[in-house]
Structure 1
Amino acid sequence: MKKILFLGGSKQQIPAIQYAKDNGYYSILCDYLSDNPGQFVADKFYCVSTTDMEAILKVAKENSIDGIVAYASDPAALTAAYVGNKLGLPSNPYKSVEILSKKDLFREFLKEHNFNCPLAKSFKSYDEAVKNLDGFKLPIMIKPIDSSGSKGVSRIEYLDSFESAFNLAMDNSREKTVIVEEFIKRSHKEMIGGDAFVVNGIVEFFGLLNSHRDFSINEFVPIGTSYPVFLDDDKIEAVKSTVQKVIDILEIKNGALNLELMFDEDDKLYIVEIGPRNGGNMIPDLIKLSTGVNMIAATVESSLGHTDFNLKKNRKDGYYSTYVIHSKESGILKNIVFSEEIQKNILSKVMYKNPLDDIERFEGANRALGIIFLKYDSIEEEKYKMDNMNEFIRIEVE
């Protein structure tokens, strides 16, 4: 029986573990949280941090694993590459995964290889940063180089906000490094998001989606994705060719990619991020629902060196989305009320919080209350309801 080591056992990560179990693979899980739900699905569990590379390597050796999966986890992707490279398992080059995992290295890579890239500099202290802002035009973005879920990300219009934004980013950085970059204004409302999948160095599948934001709370934290993508064919082709060029240079051979891109007001394409792993917020589940392509299966099978999975779209176009249920205020969750108008669109719900649980204002993906999957009759209905979801879902907090 093939053994697969999974890094992370949150609710969002369970589908990958469940796929392994359903297909006759032995699943070993590592997670630093002792109460993670994935341990009840996996065959064996170790309470070990997925960012502790040597500890994970030890677990991998002890269990003679055949594959390693960092499903929907930025921090764990680098660990998976490290262990995979050390043990000769199917994996991508550690250095390439590191470039994709850290915003400062990725911006340097983009600039070096003549991709569109905003002016960007990284700093390890506020004093160093504040002395080196002369070349920047406001507004600017301030981000941790290594956080996931858009935690610690700010845009500022005036320098008197710089210190607080810098400190927020620093607090959310594991490496205590912050990147400052010029803000690029996009020509479209939604970010271009979704996942892609690489087989033998070729991006064989693009599951492009619209990435929505709640501008009333935090414009940088995704609150849902929708299908089909709101792009014309020329722009879709530009996205595909640009991503493939990155994959060629970095010599990424196999596995999932999480994409975030945008066109500026001059229609120049900017890559915001290419994560070396499946997307969070259940993006692979939405892609399967809308296209029929099972990227969860592809990810698990690819970890074992298999390439005989189907990445061909096999479903007629429909109108689907996910929506991240979130709160504008912190407190105790009293109730979540869905209006009749949205209830008819809901296909399923995955809830993280229950009534009487403590909840926090939505400032990062880790503060989500749950995710719902929806289907619509038209693209107009999809756009309208995704833009106005706060009118259809009421969060009662006390």
Structure 2
Amino acid sequence: MEDRILVLGASILQLPLIKEAKKMGCYVGVCDINPNAVGVSLADEFFETDIFNEEQVYETAKKFLPNGICTIGTDFPVRSVAFSCNKLGLPSITYEAAINSTDKNKMIEAFNNAKLSVPWHYTIDGNSKIDLSITDNKFPCIVKPVDSSGSRGVSLVKNYDDFFNAIEVARNFSKNGQVIIEEFLVGREVSVEVFCQNKKPVVLQITDKITSGAPHFVELEHYEPTHFDSDTIEKISDLAINAVSACGITEGPAHVEIIVTTNGPKLVELGARLGGDFITTNLVPLSTGINMVKNVILHSIGKDFELNSTTSRYAGVIFPIFPVGSRISEVDLTDIFNKCDISIKYLKPIGYEVKGKYESSGDRPMAIISSGESREELNFRLKNAEKNLISRI
């Protein structure tokens, strides 16, 4: 009997999940509010369902009768997955853990209760009056929505002149109007890819990250494995594992973001999902041989999955910064591909015009992915491909 998988989302983020489920011989139902989303044509059945609406997803699940429900690369639908799975008796994190991993206020509370290393912070409610005394001598600081992702609504605030505007920007991206003000951490950023096995978090890979910096911190480059020394890696891993446990995540994947400061690693946030930006769909398989997307599906239907590395390589992705006014076109880089292990991902439609600086991950039009036997070989391949790509657009 074939497994029935219900995938929440039909955007480009979910394509690896839908394709992997089909490759495994599953009967795939797909939910999305957009009937023209790219993944709809790949589904065995499509449901025009708002994946952010828990009750709608549950009603759809009762009709489809899946033996597994999953999503990847996106935060908020994790609540809908947990809501339906808990009611239908399917493998999943608890609904409380889903809330803890998607509401940054609840998340920080869980971190504090576990006495984990976090930045100073406080939350402003949607209609509350802002007490300026709480910002005294605390600039620069970060202002961000309590329940958004992908750098949306995140700003670095250096003084009072920018403070109120940053709060309004963050509120526009916050579903409940709450905004978090927190310490601006200085250091190198990493993400930790985790998968729970036998109710315990297991660290699979650590990724070095390079962002655009202030004010929006859009992620531009990712590299695996991390360059940190073994002692720092151990501290990063311990903090990530404790963060996952603090939020009550005992099932499936988790993606933990950490900044390594002069005082050691500090938590930024986490998600009860696979990391986006091709980290878990491409980089982890390239660097370790572990198919995390397949593992998500196997976990969702209660089957055994494999977390042991089968290879050890370097892998990375670059999101090129194109000049304003550039139009995205199909570029023939076969001369580069033939020499190197390179792939290009189009994140915007052909003809898309770059209108300004990237303010969130959604503004990046393309990605370049590669791997190599060394970090030096990898860097050469990526930078050479980036240079050629920009020159030909």
- Relative to the length of structure 2, the TM-score reads 0.90
- Within 2, Cα distance between the matches of 1:26 and 1:114? 44
Q: Does 1:365 align with 2:361?
A: yes
In structure 2, what is the Cα distance between the partners aligned to 1:134 and 1:252? 33
Match of 2:302 in 1: 305
Give the Cα–Cα distance (whole angstroms) in 1 for the partners of residues 247 and 352 of structure 2.
44
Find the counterpart in structure 1 of residue 15 from structure 2.
14
Measured at CA, do residues 54 and 343 of structure 1 come closer, stay the same or move farther in structure 2, by a change above 3 Å? same
Q: How does 1:324-339 map to 2 (within 5 A)?
A: 324-327=319-322, 329=324, 332-333=327-328
Q: Deviations over 1:117-144 (max 9, x none)?
A: 2221111347623545345611110001
> In 2 relative to 1, CA 107–389 (structure 1 residues): closer, same or farther, beyond 3 Å?
farther
- CA change 1:359–1:52 in 2 (3 A) is farther
Matches within 5 A, 1:22-41: 22-41=23-42
- CA 1:3/1:340 → structure 2, altered by over 3 Å: closer, same or farther? closer
User: Match of 2:223, SS?
Assistant: strand
Show the 5 A alignment for 1:244-323: 244-266=241-263, 268-284=264-280, 285-306=282-303, 308-315=304-311, 317-323=312-318
CA distance in 2 between partners of 1:157 and 1:339 (Å): 45
Match of 2:54 in 1: 53
Q: Distance in 2 between matches of 1:296 and 1:81?
A: 18
The aligned residue for residue 351 of structure 1 is 346
Partner of 1:380: 376
Q: How do residues 1-398 of structure 1 correspond to structure 2 at under 5 angstroms?
A: 1-125=2-126, 128-131=129-132, 133-134=134-135, 137-186=138-187, 188=188, 191-215=189-213, 220-266=217-263, 268-284=264-280, 285-306=282-303, 308-315=304-311, 317-327=312-322, 329=324, 332-333=327-328, 344-345=339-340, 347-361=342-356, 362-376=358-372, 378-382=374-378, 391=387, 393-394=389-390
| Percent identity over paired residues | 25
SS of alignment partner, residue 40 of structure 2: helix
Q: Which runs of 5+ in 1 are unaligned?
A: none
Would the aligned equivalents of 2:10 and 2:40 in 1 still touch at CA under 8 Å?
A: yes
**Structure 1's 394 and 239: CA in aligned 2 closer, same or farther, altered over 3 A?**
same
Report the 3-state secondary structure (helix = DSSP H, G, I; strand = E; otherwise coil) of the residue aligned with 2:108.
helix
Matching residue's letter, 1:49? D
Deviation at 1:346, TM superposition (A): 5.1
Which structure carries more strand by proportion?
1
Mapped partners of 1:143, 1:269: distance in 2: 20
Tell whether the 8 Å contact from 2:192 to 2:237 is kept in structure 1 after alignment.
no
1:280-335: per-residue Cα shift (whole Å, max 9, x none)?
111112100111000011001100111x22211111x3222112244453675467
Distance 1:78 1:89 in 2: 14
Please report how far the alpha carbon of residue 388 of structure 1 lies from its aligned counterpart in structure 2 after TM superposition.
9.4
1:345: how far off?
A: 4.3
Q: Matched residue of 1:220: which SS?
A: coil
- Aligned-residue offset at 1:88: 1.4
Structure 2: which 5+ runs fail to align?
none
Q: 1:385 to 1:135 in 2, by over 3 A?
A: farther
3-state DSSP class of the match of 2:138? coil
* Residues 320-329 or 281-290, more deviating: 320-329
Deviation, structure 1 residue 262: 1.6
How many Å separate the matches in 2 of 1:238 and 1:332?
44
Q: Secondary structure at the match of 1:74?
A: coil
AA matched with 2:202? E
Does the 8 A contact of 2:203 with 2:241 survive in 1? no
User: For 2:158 and 2:31, how far apart are their aligned partners in 1?
Assistant: 42
How many residues end up aligned between the 2 structures?
A: 390
1:223-251: per-residue Cα shift (whole Å, max 9, x none)?
Answer: 13111211111111112222222333443
Letter in 2 for 1:201: K
**In 2, distance between residues paired with 1:299 and 1:30?**
17
State how far apart, in whole Å, the 2-side matches of 1:146 and 1:371 are: 26
- Check conservation: 1:206, 1:240, Cα contact below 8 A: no
Q: Which amino acid aligns with 1:15?
A: P
Measure the CA separation in 1 of the matches of 2:143 and 2:120: 12
TM-score, reference length from structure 1: 0.89
Structure 1 window deviating more from structure 2 (387-396 vs 50-59): it is 387-396
Specify the code of the residue in structure 1 equivalent to 2:313: G
